[in-house]
Structure 1
């Protein structure tokens, strides 16, 4: 059996002259959880939709459980679960009726009532979908995505609308799925969620993959260097160093005493992520500034 559940090489997606996904490449091993992070509009959801077979790619190669999702038959669908960013399911069916209906589409589904309890919907099982709040509808989305016990699960910002308690319960459910061997691709804005659930983290911004690696040590050794931050001359200064205490002492000696505010910061996943996204935003601004502008009236480059 192939050890890789997902292979992506040079993935591109464009709409006219707008590039949404720009040469993205990564693998996901069987049984692994990969968290895909990035700001709104970064290309995360488009990437997931291409992998799930919902959207055609412009270029590159994609393999999901050994098949191209763009041309695969229905057998692949039965092995893959998808929790899209928003489905907006409403209608006359109750929660239990809808989940049982979906369960009937799969050869070896989870028990509907056990699943309803697992996603915290037991008190609402007899309520009609149209009467549920957005947060409760989101829990139904999650239930429908995993009812078929998929080998591979795509979770696109699954805990949107969850309260803190529900989010923790959902994390426990995802850990159980992982323990059973499910491969998971998770997109999220919650960095603590990525740190809790993922084996590896990837950051995508402006359509490009900026970094990928294990949660522990993500971004490489340089990204984890301590930061000494202090106030001097009316502004905040900071410096990365392997010897933060020595630097703090040298600053104090140079200023003739310890500054009013000096701190040593150990970078977290959030800090590294924000640095990567900030660099991508700077690159995009540079690209825009360097691009020639054509006016419709003049038809000339200026």
Structure 2
């Protein structure tokens, strides 16, 4: 059995909101496996969902750009938030994001293209700026969306300047309809995505492994009630439908008008646009997601700095 540390208990508590002793019990029951411990807590009704830690794991900026039927999004990381407020860094991220349009969001190709106004590649230019700005920086990832006819809408949340912020979203809207109306709808959907962070555009696009994990948790949780298997089966199927409503974009309640799902809002917008509308997909980049950031003792840092 793995040793359960105070740090592990703290991390589990932050992710689930469960009590400290419950978190310790969960980790003991699951040999210290964090994801299994989250599921254990959920089956006991001690955690409503596997929440992500609220701590930002990396600094820097997410850039988005949309031009007509195409758009690109890029994440560039730095060591501190101070750099994100540096005008030179902001300019660099903006230029790199625009360059990503020409390589369909392929990060390897992006690093190899020539940085605008320079003889250097994007990779070499960033390396040069590390020396100038004085912090380690990297182009972590990039992506793109395009449509045949319609628009790609872009939105940034917590923007420091237009097109640069902590969350960047692209939405592809396919339609022969009025482009101004499509742009208005696309912007609203992009803002919705920034707020709700859906897993997929449509139900069939949700990763089957994610659904099966959710189903296993719900079955275990339902069995705790002691009800018959046929009742449990109906309970689980109902909760799976609810799960899809929470994580599938088109099935979610639209933040602009919660009385409608996003799908129904798109259908209603067709009259104003004058043509059928299809949301073909989206990209949502949140700064630092998926990167664990080492915790530091601020008092110890200050003391170390004072000692020189």
Indicate whether the TM-score tops 0.5: no
Q: TM-score under structure 2 normalisation?
A: 0.26
More strand by share: 1
Q: TM-score under structure 1 normalisation?
A: 0.26
More helix by share: 2
